[in-house]
Chain A
Amino acid sequence: MRYINHEEVASKTKKRLTKNTIFKGVFAAATTFGLIVLTILLYRIITQGSGYISLDFFTSFASRIPENSGIKAAIAGSIYLMLVVAPVSMFLGVGTAIYLEEYATKNRFNTFIKINISNLAGVPSVVFGLLGLTIFARFFDLGISILAAGLTMSLLILPIIIVASQEAIRAVPNELREASFAMGATKWQTILRVVLPASIPGILTGSILALSRAIGETAPLVVLGIPTILMFMPDGLLSTFTALPMQIFDWTKRPQVEFHDVAAGGIIVLMALLLFMNSIAVFIRNKYQNRY
């Protein structure tokens, strides 16, 4: 008498193994989907826009004629914007992270701050634009200025910087803090001279990634009403300006197809800028990773 029907087992096993192989292929195909899309996207943009990348493109203002259009004012505006966003968002973000990791005791208010930060990270950027329009542009009367847009962007990326800095500070081993206390250092001395230097690579990596999010962000600028055709360079924090993503948005919206190529040219510059910032972040991460 046979207890096991070998033929049935063999046929069932074969079916299961075939299914296994097929789905391995399906999962792998899904994984390459992202890779393929990224390749197509980059290829399209480079072939479409590379014709516009020239020295003139960087040294001309925006124009009604596609061939004469450039990104001089937009590049300057984006750089000015970063000059506001980087210090403001890092000061607020790192300060909050130090407070939450080193000083905050477990009470209702501090729990509330933490929950609030994770909810703030999920607020759409266009809503931050409404905040900036109402509070910075109108209430504080900063108008459509670099400062108003910079403060709005700072608040937008604040949650990212806080979370990244918290992780970096948490990764500093307690032995370092205890050693510092044992040498007679006070808490703030320990934070300033031991914890921060040890966590600075992580903080910088997170902050640069957050800044690269800010430099490509368009929606808050649109809501603030940043102009797109600007024939002068920004000359101060309260000056009107335009920014690279804003300029790309304007060119994309235009009905003339030639402007789409100009937009692609702008996108190449923007993506190159992002690539540059991300490589710095990756470089810092790799160079200083796992020192403990």
Chain B
Amino acid sequence: MAMNEPKQLSVQELIAQKSNRGLLAFTEKLIPKILLLIATVSVLTTIGIVFTLIFETITFFTEVNVLSFLTGTEWYPFANSTPTYGILPLIVGTLKITAIATFVAVPIGIATAIYLSEYASDRVRRIVKPVLEVLAGVPTIVYGFFALTFVTPILRSVFPEISIFNAISPGIVVGIMVIPMIASLSEDAMTSVPNAMRDGAYALGATKFEVAVKIVLPAALSGIVASIVLAISRAIGETMIVAVAAGSTPGFDWDVTGSIQTMTAYIVQVTTGDAGYGTTIYYSIYAVGFTLFLFTLFMNMLAQFISKRFREEY
């Protein structure tokens, strides 16, 4: 009966049999392995970054005490007699820029997001969104030029006590740079709030403003906060704007009118100068880079955590 019947092959098996032959089968097996190899490049990049930073930082710490690096309030690596490497002034400089940038970007970014998601017509949205994209695509060196040659002179004409290199001007411009990021990510979060919730509020007699602020904003809060955290991370890592317009005087104070230095700007200062390979100054850029890397990594992971953990599902 069934045993006597000739062996039946399904079409699928025929295809499998055919494709298992020779070169074709070989490529089918080889391709995924090659692609996996390519995919590991991104992992190798991370490993490369982490190991580079750690190894060179360790070399730096054989010459400079770890504790005095982490708690020192004086950063004078170029001092001839006794160079000091206390990173706190650089961190304070970075925080000044970040604080000013956040102060500028958060209200404008969120207001833009509210307008785009709640008020704007399709036509307005089609004009504004590409403009924001262009603003996000302007190279940071151009923003740096803008800060130094336009924003700083204007600030100085109003407040003469501000010096040519200061924290306010680059801070504001870094803020302008991250506005598109906050606006577009927050808008995404707001648009994904279901219309039923808005309609419910309207049916109870709420105005558009009340719907936006009391319904949409709280519902999209996790996405909005995540966008702010990401923007802060960008501001911490921003290099060219501060390298051009903030100066190179690390100070452990809260003065924003005078020249300051951020972690990123220090790396630029050393690499544009002629600190030789193998000197303590050379290794110090890795220690600063590692600190910077940890800061931004923490912020990025915080943003991911917030948007995952506190997401409201509708």
Q: Which residues of A contact B (CB under 8 A)?
A: 16-17, 19-20, 23-24, 26-28, 30-31, 33-35, 37-38, 40-41, 44-45, 48, 91-92, 95-96, 98-100, 103-104, 112-113, 116-120, 122-131, 133-135, 138, 155, 158-159, 162, 184, 186-188, 209, 212-213, 216-219, 222-225, 245, 248-249, 252-253, 260, 263-264, 267, 270-271, 274, 278
Q: Are the CB atoms of A100 and B39 closer together than 8 Å?
A: yes
The 7 lowest CB-CB distance pairs between A and B, nearest first, are: A124-B237, A216-B139, A30-B111, A95-B38, A27-B115, A122-B300, A99-B35
**B107 part of interface (Cβ distance < 8 Å):** yes
**Chain A residue contacts of B115, Cβ below 8 A:** 27-28, 30-31
Contacts of A212 in B (CB 8 A): 137
Interface CB pairs A-B, < 8 A, 5: A30-B112, A126-B239, A126-B289, A184-B18, A223-B271
Bound complex: CA of A252 vs CA of B289, how far in Å?
Answer: 24
Question: Which of A30, A120, A249 contacts B108, CB < 8 Å?
Answer: A30
Nearest A residue to B56 via CB reads A134
B300 to A119, Cβ gap below 8 A?
Answer: yes
Residues of B near any A CB (own CB < 8 A): 15, 18-19, 24, 27-28, 31-32, 34-36, 38-43, 45-46, 48-49, 52-53, 56, 107-108, 111-112, 114-116, 118-120, 128, 131-132, 134-135, 137-142, 144-146, 148-150, 176, 179-180, 183, 207-210, 230, 233, 236-240, 243-244, 264, 267-268, 271-272, 277, 285-286, 289, 292-293, 296-297, 299-301, 304
Are B264 and A126 interface neighbours, CB within 8 A?
yes
Which residues of B sit under 8 angstroms from A38, Cβ to Cβ? 131, 134-135, 138
Task: Evaluate whether A218 and B111 lie within 8 angstroms (CB atoms) in the complex, with A27-B119, A249-B141, A270-B139 already known.
Answer: no
The complex places the Cα of A19 from the Cα of B186 at a distance, in Å, of: 23
Tell whether A30 pairs with B49 under 8 Å between CB atoms, given A96-B42, A124-B296, A263-B145.
no
Does A99 contact B239, Cβ atoms closer than 8 Å?
no
Interface contacts (Cβ under 8 Å), in number, total 250
Once bound together, how far apart are the Cα atoms of A103 and B156, in whole Å?
A: 58
A-chain residues with CB within 8 Å of residue B267 when the two chains form the complex: 126, 129-130, 223
Q: Flag if A96 contacts B237 (CB, 8 Å).
A: no
Contact A45 B209 (CB under 8 A): no
- Give 18 new A-B contacts, CB below 8 A, not counting A30-B107, A120-B45: A20-B208, A27-B119, A35-B128, A44-B149, A92-B41, A95-B34, A99-B38, A103-B32, A135-B48, A219-B264, A223-B267, A245-B141, A252-B149, A260-B145, A260-B149, A267-B145, A270-B139, A271-B142
Q: Which of A34, A120, A125 contacts B239 (CB 8 A)?
A: A125
Contact A96 B38 (CB under 8 A): yes
Alpha-carbon distance A118/B300, docked complex (angstroms):
9
* Residue contact B137 to A278, C-beta cutoff 8 Å: yes
* Bound-complex Cα distance A263 to B149 (A): 11
Chain B residues whose C-beta falls within 8 Å of the C-beta of A274 in the assembled complex:
137, 139
Q: Are A188 and B31 in contact (CB under 8 A)?
A: yes
Contact partner of A130 (CB less than 8 A), chosen from B135, B142, B244, B286, is: B286
- Quick check: A159 and B42 within 8 Å, CB to CB? yes
Contacts of A96 in B (CB 8 A): 35, 38-39, 41-42
Known contacts A131-B48, A219-B264, A263-B145; is-contact A31 B39 (Cβ 8 Å): no
A20 touches B209 (CB 8 A): yes
Residues of A within 8 A of B271 (CB): 129, 133, 222-225
Asked if B233 and A218 make an inter-chain contact with CB atoms under 8 angstroms apart, the answer reads no
Given contacts A27-B114, A116-B46, A270-B139, contact A184 B289 (CB under 8 A): no
Residues in B neighbouring A117, C-beta threshold 8 A: 42
A135 to B200, CA, bound (A): 58
